[in-house]
Structure 1
Amino acid sequence: MYLPPQFAAQDPAIARDLMRAHPFASLVSTDDDGFPFVTPLPLHLVEEDGGLTLLGHVARPNPHARYLRRQSAALVVFQGPQAYMTPRVYPDLTRVPTWSYLAVHARVQVSFIEAFQDKDRLIKHLIHDHDPAYDAQWRSLPEDYQHKMMGGIHAFELRVSELQCKVKLNQHRPESHAAMLAAYEAGNENERALAGWMRRLGLTGSPA
C-alpha cells in the first residue's frame, strides 16, 4: 500500500494489537483469470519463534482454496478504526478534509491443514477468541458431527513474510492534534477509538 514515512508505524506491537483487535480481515489472491479474489474471514494471530502466523478457514465450496493451492502467496488486509477528519481542526483555513485510519497489510505464504486434530486446534483458537463460553458445547458435540463439520472446511496457516502498518493520524501536523483529539473523543465509536490511538502515540497537542 501507499505508505508515506510519516504514517509508517515503527513499533511492531501496533500491527499485532490491530490484528488482534480487528481480526475480521480480507484474504486476497487471484482467481483463474488473474483477477483479485477476496474472502472476508476471522483470523487468529499466533506469535512463535520470532514470527507471525494467522490461522483461518473457508467453506469447502469456496473456490479460494483452489486458488491458494495453485498460488500460495497472498495478501491479508486488516482495517482498524477509521473516520473523517474535518479541516476545522487546523488553526488556519487553507486546508482540506481528509480521512484518518489504521490498517495492516500482511504478505503471507499459505499452507493447508488437513488432520482433524490440527483443524480442531484451529477452531478452538477461534472459539476462545470470540466465544469462550461455547468451548464446552463444542467439545460435547458427537464425534461424528465434529468430523462432518471439519470435512466442510479448508483450514490453513498463513505465515507472515512481510508486514506493513499504516497509522494515518495527521502525525506531521501537530498544530491540529489538540482540536482533532477533542473532536474524536466526542464522536462515534470509530472516532473514540482513533482518539485512543492518538493518546497512545502521544498525539495530544500538549507541550512535551
Structure 2
Amino acid sequence: MYLPPQFNPKDEAHALKVMRGYPFASLISTDDDGFPFVTHLPLHLSQSRDPHVLLGHCAKANPHWRYLQTRPQALVTFMGPQAYMSPKVYPDLVRVPTWSYVAVHTRVEATLIDEPHAKDRLLKQLIGDHEPPYAAQWRGLDVDYQQKMLSGIVAFELRIIDVQCKLKLNQHRPESHVAMHAAYAQGTPDEQALADWMVTLGMVPAQATHAERS
C-alpha cells in the first residue's frame, strides 16, 4: 500500500496490536483468470512461532482454498479504527478535510490443513478469541455432528512473510494534534480509538485522554 514515512511506524508491536484487536480481515488472492478474489473472515494471530502465523478457515464450497492451494502467496488486510478529520482542527482556514485510519497489510504463504484433529485445534483457537465458554458446548456436541461441521470447512495457516502497518493520524501536522485529539476523544468508538492511538504514538500527553472524556 502507499506508505509515506510519516505514517509508517517501525515498531512491529503496533501491527500485532491491530491484528489482535481487529481480527476480521480480508484475504485476497487471484482466481484462475488472474482477477482478485476476496474472502472476509476472522483470523487468529499465533505468535508462538517465528514467523508469526494467521489461522483461519473458509467454507468448502468457497473456491478460495483451491486458489490458495494453487497459488499459496496471498495478501491479508486488517482495517482498524477510521474516521473523518475536519479541517477545523487547524488554527488557520487554508486546509482541507481528510480521513484518519489504522491499517495493516500482510503478505502471507498459505498451507491447507485437512486433518480433522488439526482443524479442531484451529477452531478452538478461534473460539478462544471470541467466545471461550462455547468450547465446552462444542466438545459436548455429537461426534458425528462435529465431523460433519469439520468436513464442511477448509482450514489453513497463513505464514506471515511481510507486514506493513499504516497509522495515518496527521503525525506531520503537530499544530492540529491538540484539537484533533479533543474532537476524537469525545466522538464515536472509532474516533475514541484513534484518540488512544494518538496517545500511544506520543502525539499528545497520556493524561489528555482522561481529561477530555470526563
| Aligned match of 1:18 | 18
Q: Is the 8 A contact 2:112 2:156 kept in 1?
A: yes
| Aligned match of 2:197 | 197
Percent identical residues: 62
Q: Could you state the TM-score of these two structures normalised by the residue count of structure 1? A: 0.97
| Aligned match of 1:86 | 86
Q: Deviations over 1:143-201 (max 9, x none)?
A: 11111111000100000000000000000111100000000011111101100111111
Q: Deviations over 1:17-76 (max 9, x none)?
A: 100000000000001111100000000000134321000000000011111111000000
**Secondary structure of 2:14 counterpart:** helix
Deviation at 1:90, TM superposition (A): 0.6
Check if 1:180 corresponds to 2:180. Answer: yes
Q: Give the number of equivalent residue pairs.
A: 206
Q: Deviations over 1:131-150 (max 9, x none)?
A: 11111000111111111111
**Secondary structure of 2:139 counterpart:** helix
| Aligned match of 2:107 | 107
Aligned residue identity for 2:172: H
Residues 91-170 of structure 1: pairs in structure 2 closer than 5 A = 91-170=91-170
Deviation at 1:96, TM superposition (A): 0.6
Aligned residue identity for 1:57: H
Q: Deviations over 1:61-98 (max 9, x none)?
A: 00111111110000000000000001110111111100
Query: How many Å separate the matches in 1 of 2:205 and 2:88?
Result: 15
Q: Is the 8 A contact 1:100 1:168 kept in 2?
A: yes
The RMSD of aligned alpha carbons is: 1.1
Structure 1, gaps ≥5 residues long: none
Query: How many Å separate the matches in 2 of 1:141 and 1:175?
Result: 58
Q: Is the 8 A contact 2:58 2:155 kept in 1?
A: yes
**Secondary structure of 2:47 counterpart:** strand
Check if 1:73 corresponds to 2:76. Answer: no
Q: Is the 8 A contact 1:178 1:205 kept in 2?
A: no
Query: How many Å separate the matches in 1 of 2:55 and 2:32?
Result: 24
Query: How many Å separate the matches in 2 of 1:3 and 1:53?
Result: 23
Q: Could you state the TM-score of these two structures normalised by the residue count of structure 2? A: 0.94
Q: Is the 8 A contact 1:177 1:205 kept in 2?
A: no
Query: How many Å separate the matches in 2 of 1:117 and 1:60?
Result: 17
Q: Is the 8 A contact 1:175 1:205 kept in 2?
A: no
Deviation at 1:205, TM superposition (A): 7.1
4+ residue stretches of structure 1 with deviation over 6 A?
none
| Aligned match of 1:63 | 63
- Judging changes above 3 Å, is the alpha-carbon distance between structure 1 residues 197 and 152 closer, same or farther for their aligned structure 2 residues? same
Query: How many Å separate the matches in 2 of 1:148 and 1:135?
Result: 17
Structure 2, gaps ≥5 residues long: 207-214
